[in-house]
Amino acid sequence: MEARNELASEAMTISEAELSDAFRLIASNVAVITTSGPHGCTGTAWAEDPRSPFVVTPLNRSGTTRQIVVDTGRFAANLLAANQADVARRFAKRGDRFDALAYSLGSLDLPLVDGAAVAIECELESSMEFGTYDLLVGRVHSVKRGPSVGVLTWCDHSFGTHAPMERRRA
Ligand SMILES: Cc1cc2nc3c(=O)[nH]c(=O)nc-3n(C[C@H](O)[C@H](O)[C@H](O)COP(=O)(O)O)c2cc1C
């Protein structure tokens, strides 16, 4: 318990500049989190174990997308493909993000972005507040695989893609 408290007080002395310098090195996938409307914003999504059919996404509490997800109880995580950085930029800005965008509606009536590496529709299972964000947990309802062209990534304020250093044996 004491060790935990020590860590907590140490963390409180870390400046915003230091945190920013550390956090920018956290590489992530790039997803468009879509909701009914249609609405959506650029974000990220995490999942790990297929025995646990949940997808987690952090959304800013002051954002419109988080509010609609909470109100409607559903979201889709569209994991963007390596050639979709323009889609990621569009969904991070104001304006009609769906204007001339190719998409279809999934079985939960959520927008699934054409060309995404994979689009996963979820029903909202749970949410947790942390800082200025909510961590939203969705139970997977449907999965739509897209073209195999590699995934878009974000690290150090830049878009990139995953470059495997070794192939996993089948
Ligand atoms: C690469 C990238 C990743 C982002 N990740 C997130 C994220 O995980 N959560 C979030 O709330 N906003 C994230 N944003 C910012 C939102 O896309 C942006 O604030 C958007 O305008 C929010 O729209 P909304 O008000 O419709 O929710 C990210 C932006 C970029 C470019």
Q: Which domains does the chain have, with CATH numbers?
A: 29-154 (2.30.110.10)
Q: For residue range 3-33, list pLDDT tens digits in order.
A: 555 555 555 689 999 999 999 999 999 999 9
| 148 Cα–ligand 1 center, Å | 25
| Inter-residue contact 118 to 147 (CB < 8 Å) | no
Regions of the chain with pLDDT less than 70? 1-12, 169-170
Q: Is 60 in the pocket of ligand 1 (CB under 6 A)?
A: yes
Give pTM, 2 decimals. Answer: 0.92
Of residues 77, 91, 82, the one with CA closest to residue 33: 77
Average pLDDT over the chain, rounded to whole?
93
Taking only the tens place, the pLDDT of each residue in 137-150 is: 999 999 999 988 89
Q: How far is the CA of 42 from the centre of ligand 1 (A)?
A: 5
